[in-house]
Amino acid sequence: MTQLRITPLYTGSRPAESFFKWKKFDSEILDSEQKSFFKRTNLEFPDFWSSFSIDITASKYFRTINGKQESSLKQLVERVTKKLKSESVKQGYLDSQNARVFENELKYILYSQRAAFNSPVWFNLGVFKQPQTSACFIQSAGDSLEEIFDLLKNESQIFKYGSGSGSNFSNLRSYHEKLDSGGYSSGLLAFLNVFDTAAGAIKSGGITRRAAKMVIVDVDHPEIEDFIKLKSHEEDKADALLKAGFKGDFEGEILASLKGQNANNSVRVTDQFMKAVEQNKGWALRARKNKAVIKTVEAKGLWQSIAKAAHRCADPGLQFHDTINKWNPCAESDQIYGSNPCSEFMFLDDTSCNLASINLIHFLDADNNFLLEEFQHTIKIIFLAQELLIDFSKYPTTKIGINSHNFRPLGLGFTNLGSFFLKLGIAYDSNESRAWAAFITSLMTSEAYMNSHQFAKVRGPFKHYVKNKKSFTRVMKLHAKENGKIDWSLLPPDFKAICQENWKRVVTEATGKGFRNAQSTVIAPTGTISFFMNAETTGIEPEFSFIKYKNLVTGKKNSAGVKIKFVNQYFEHALKTLQYSQQEIEVIKTKLLDTGYLDEKLLKSAAHKKVFQTAVGSDPISPLAHLKMMAAVQSFVSGAISKTINLPSTSTVDDVAGAYLTAWELGLKSVAIYRDKSKLAQPLEALEGPKCGDCNSPTELRGGCFVCLNCGTSIACG
């Protein structure tokens, strides 16, 4: 039997632990009132781990096993890697010797913060015999009462173990439509309110974070007008309650009384609808069963309603149905109708995906050379671990379990792209940065598929590969074609040949043994796991703001903590790359900390000013730049991209409509915007989002999720 071979790159014959100096740390997280929110002492971590990464890891991921609470990163990592090592042998991928190398290399990668698995792996693996390890689920939504309440039960099970679920609810009949038994349906929105209430009552993983869910409705549904306005109408209600004196923070009584606040809402639009908007045509809203026209509306009017609602409260986002299915590798099995809560996993109904993210900053050396061999090796180790998870994990429904085994989609991605650009000294909004992002994603996905082919040589392709061979090969050829469009002149000379050869091999192997996994990559928001890896920026996002805040323990008995300000560590790296002296750097940093703003007069050129643009502030990265960065990588991602297009508070409804239209024109699969201060729960401070429900500290919007920078909690999804 053919098996895989793992050649050590990081560890040689030494134990992974021996490469790091281990120290004991105390961990304490303070809430917004400087009171202790979490406290542990005598915790063991590598000496280079930041206090923030230690706090997040200890508070979120350390578990109690057989009555004993974890107190060392070694215990946490051992809990995860030990099971993966045994499964690598059990599943036939590795012999015992290669399995030991695999485990040791994986430990090194995790200890060194080069990569991390999605949170459910850390929550559940090694704790339960059959752990739920996927962060992402897409579930079908049927129209019968039994199907509706089965979905409600299944969602609750998913949330309980720290994962998220998304569904396209367009099969549910509207209140205009008759039931088979007589009378009329309660309607789509009536049932969505039931789902929303249930999600609001659950904190995922028991204590770890709020439930994450996605609600998708097709643009031709008879209740689409009401769905579009659902959240904006509730914001109007909230305004009235706020003026009446009710509490308005994120966990306050106003928000608790509002409908639809526990899901991300998206409208699924077709190319036909988009063309109807451009041509100012009518648009038919159709019955769910017989597709009879119930009502005709102006397409442009519906489009304006979407933009107006998103301008008011950031929902709904858009998903582009035809673009999504153009890239569907399993079109012979079905169309893709849904997504997970943050829209990065887009695949067939009743499937799941476990995620992992690579911390890009660790693949630049001291001279900013890209560490190609290390990147490829890390993909090999992490992607194998993800593949192993599929067969011994728990799934909330039989259907999801069967489909996850039969299609085996995976979601490898990256994080810290914004810091990667800072270290290189290049602007997020530049052709050079977009070329780098395209290259990294093209390399990552092609390497993942080549590993998937090796898996297929050991255990065979995914069950429905032969059935979908035509569409799978077509999509691989699309990836290869798009690879040729990267501006390789802006990159090191050997990169082009490497990616070209990779995609050539992938296309060739599509006609051979095939692939073990129907999908390989997504770009996730990576909220909490980015903090585990000490990443300053998350996913594909730019730096939100260079100034960070942290509630710091003073160490004095009976003494309150203090709130400290600090600067992104790669801010200084960027200045060094741009040839600023240490004295100049200190002056710039001091001014930034004192005022909260970058003094542009201290920069040497307009080009340098662009390098230090952030998502918010006096001169933010433009919405078009956000969209162009997404477009640079979308053609190389199996799934999609979880990203927020930040708009200043002064943006108009037309600005929102323009961003949505541009997203479609650029070939994105989905898009979500956030206009500053458009949420009820957002306070007046320009750089703060809704308050964290756990420690009441400010949050930032990262990839569609508000993430607490004090305790690591993801609000709403992530």
Query: Is the model more confident about 560 or about 709?
Result: 709
- For residue 225, pLDDT beyond 90: yes
Q: Which two tokens stand for residue 323?
A: 């673009």
Catalytic-residue membership of 354: no
Which of 185-194, 238-247, 259-268 bottoms out in mean pLDDT, i.e. has the lowest? 238-247
Tell me whether residue 329 is exposed, middle or buried, using C-beta atoms within 10 angstroms of its C-beta: 0 to 12, 13 to 18, 19 or more. buried
The reported pLDDT for the residue numbered 703 is 64
Q: Which two tokens stand for residue 101?
A: 């190398």
Percentage of the chain exceeding pLDDT 90? 75
Q: Kindly report the three-state secondary structure assignment for every residue of 563-628.
A: EEEEECHHHHHHHHHCCCCHHHHHHHHHHHHHHCCCCHHHCCCHHHHHHCCCCCCCCCCCHHHHHH
Alpha-carbon gap, residue 382 to 142, rounded angstroms:
36
- For residue 208, pLDDT beyond 60: no
* pLDDT tens digits along 7-21: 999 999 999 999 999
Give which of 653, 691, 705 is closest to 264, Cα–Cα.
705
Helix-helix angle 299-313:271-278, to 10 degrees: 100
Of the pLDDT bands very low, low, confident and very high (cuts 50, 70, 90), residue 30 is confident
User: Could you give the C-alpha distances from 628 to 433, 543, 621, 662, in angstroms and in order?
Assistant: 11, 16, 11, 9
Residue type, 698: P
The pTM of this model reads: 0.94
The reported pLDDT for the residue numbered 487 is 98
* pLDDT tens digits along 400-426: 999 999 999 999 999 999 999 999 999
Give which of 706, 563, 672, 712 is closest to 343, Cα–Cα.
672
The reported pLDDT for the residue numbered 602 is 95
- For residue 559, pLDDT beyond 50: no
User: Could you give the C-alpha distances from 680 to 13, 36, 74, 264, 312, in angstroms and in order?
Assistant: 56, 28, 42, 16, 10
Catalytic residue among 136, 313, 330, 342: 342
Which of 191-195, 256-260, 455-459 bottoms out in mean pLDDT, i.e. has the lowest? 256-260
**Average pLDDT value for residue range 448-453:** 98
The reported pLDDT for the residue numbered 627 is 98
- In terms of phi and psi (left: phi > 0; alpha: psi -120 to 50; beta: otherwise), the region of 70 is beta
Residues 6+ apart with CB under 8 A from 549: 563, 564, 565, 697, 698, 709, 710
Catalytic residue among 328, 340, 534, 710: 340
Cα-Cα-Cα-Cα torsion 175, 176, 178, 179, nearest 10 degrees, comes to -20
Catalytic residue among 344, 387, 509, 688: 344
Q: Can you list the alpha helix ranges (DSSP code H) found in 9-161?
A: 51-60, 73-90, 96-111, 119-124, 145-160
Q: DSSP for 406-457?
A: HH---EEEEE-HHHHHHHHT--SSSHHHHHHHHHHHHHHHHHHHHHHHHHHH
**Average pLDDT value for residue range 55-74:** 94
Cα-Cα-Cα-Cα torsion 458, 462, 468, 472, nearest 10 degrees, comes to -70
* pLDDT tens digits along 593-610: 998 889 999 999 999 999
- For residue 432, pLDDT beyond 80: yes
Of the pLDDT bands very low, low, confident and very high (cuts 50, 70, 90), residue 677 is confident
CATH node for 136-326 = 3.20.70.20
Catalytic-residue membership of 87: no
Alpha-carbon gap, residue 425 to 575, rounded angstroms:
7
Alpha-carbon gap, residue 676 to 682, rounded angstroms:
9
- For residue 104, pLDDT beyond 60: yes
Asked, as a colleague might, if the bond just before 396 is cis with ω within 30 of 0, I would say: no
Alpha-carbon gap, residue 113 to 77, rounded angstroms:
12
Give the pairing type, strands 699-702 and 673-675. Answer: unpaired
User: Could you give the C-alpha distances from 414 to 117, 337, 440, 637, in angstroms and in order?
Assistant: 11, 25, 9, 11
The reported pLDDT for the residue numbered 550 is 66
- For residue 554, pLDDT beyond 50: no
Percentage of the chain exceeding pLDDT 70? 92
* pLDDT tens digits along 684-706: 233 445 677 677 777 776 666 67
* pLDDT tens digits along 469-493: 999 999 999 999 999 999 999 999 9
Residue type, 54: I
CB contact at 8 A, 228 and 682 = no
Of the pLDDT bands very low, low, confident and very high (cuts 50, 70, 90), residue 183 is confident
- For residue 629, pLDDT beyond 70: yes
Which of 60-64, 113-117, 325-329 bottoms out in mean pLDDT, i.e. has the lowest? 60-64
Residues 6+ apart with CB under 8 A from 636: 438, 441, 442, 444, 445, 446, 479, 482, 483, 521
The reported pLDDT for the residue numbered 683 is 32
Q: Which phi and psi (to 5°) does residue 634 adopt?
A: -55, -40
Residues 6+ apart with CB under 8 A from 714: 209, 210, 212, 527, 528, 705, 706, 707, 708
Query: Is the model more confident about 273 or about 691?
Result: 273
Supply angle C-alpha 126, 129, 134, rounded to 5: 70
Alpha-carbon gap, residue 341 to 338, rounded angstroms:
10
Catalytic-residue membership of 344: yes
Which of 247-256, 496-505, 659-668, 702-711 bottoms out in mean pLDDT, i.e. has the lowest? 247-256
